[in-house]
Amino acid sequence: MAVSYKRLMHLMIEQDVSNAQLMRDANISANIIKKIKTGQYMALDKIESICTALNCTPNDILEFLPDEKEETK
């Protein structure tokens, strides 16, 4: 399965939170921002830090997408 952080990006826009502000508030690195933008997996502790900073749940910031191969089965 693939992961999508589009929900996180929308939430950041709604809350007017920049990448730099999220990095400070959640104590995450630029590498994590890159993972968000490219849809890569990240450690659960980073998800927790982001959720704490934005006062949300993991369901509010990410979703799992089925692989294309799985859709054709």
At residue 40, does pLDDT exceed 80?
yes
* Amino acid letter for position 49: S
At residue 73, does pLDDT exceed 60?
no
Tens of pLDDT, residue by residue over 41-69, are: 999 999 999 999 999 999 999 999 988 77
Residue 59 C-alpha from the chain's centroid? 10
* Assigned token pair, 27: 């104590």
Q: What angle do CA 46, 69, 71 make, to 5 degrees?
A: 90
Q: Cite the beta strand spans of 1-73 per DSSP E.
A: 2-4, 63-65
At residue 71, does pLDDT exceed 80?
no
